[in-house]
A and B are shown apart, each in its own frame.
Chain A
Amino acid sequence: MKVSLNQKILSRNDDFAAKNKAYFRRRGILCLNFISSPGSGKTTVIARTIGALKGKLNIAVIEGDIKTDTDAQKIRAAGAEAVQIETHGACHLSAEQVANALTLLNSADAKVIIIENVGNLVCPSAFDLGEHRRVVVLSVPEGDDKPVKYPGTFAEADVVLINKIDLMDYLDFNLERVLADIRAVNPDAVILQISASTGEGMQAWYDWLTKNAGAE
Chain B
Amino acid sequence: MHETAVAESILQTICDYAAKMNARPVRAVVSCGQFNALNDEVMRFAFEAAAESTVAQGMDLQIRHIPLRAACKACRISFEFDIYDPVCPSCKSMEFEFEPDAPLLLEDIEFEDPNEGIAESKDPEPQ
Contact = CB atoms under 8 A, between A and B. Distances in A.
Interface string A114-127: 00000000110011
Contact of B5 (A10, A156, A185, A187): A10
A30 B6 CA distance: 28
Given A10-B6, A151-B86, A181-B86, A126 B95 contact: no
Contacts of A22: none
A126 B5 contact: yes
Given A152-B35, A187-B97, A1 B104 contact: no
A104 interface: no
| Interface bin, chain A | 20 to 34
A108 interface: no
Interface string A185-208: 101000000000000000000000
A143 B73 CA distance: 28
A46 B121 CA distance: 61
A184 interface: yes
Nearest to A7: B106
Contact of B105 (A3, A8, A184, A185): A8
B61 interface: no
A92 B109 contact: no
Interface in B63-98: 73, 83-84, 86-87, 94-98
Interface of A, secondary structure class, is mixed
Nearest to B101: A155
B36 A1 contact: no
Contacts of B6: 9-10, 126
B109 A3 contact: yes
A187 B108 contact: no
Interface string A135-156: 0000000000000100110011
A3 B1 contact: no
B66 to A, nearest CB: 12
A103 interface: no
A1 B13 CA distance: 16
B30 A126 contact: no
Given A122-B1, A155-B35, 8 more contacts: A1-B111, A7-B106, A9-B10, A127-B2, A151-B83, A151-B84, A181-B86, A185-B86
14 contacts: A3-B17, A3-B110, A5-B107, A6-B105, A6-B106, A6-B108, A9-B6, A9-B10, A11-B9, A151-B83, A151-B86, A184-B86, A185-B86, A187-B98
Interface of A: 1-13, 91-92, 94, 122-123, 126-127, 148, 151-152, 155-156, 180-181, 183-185, 187
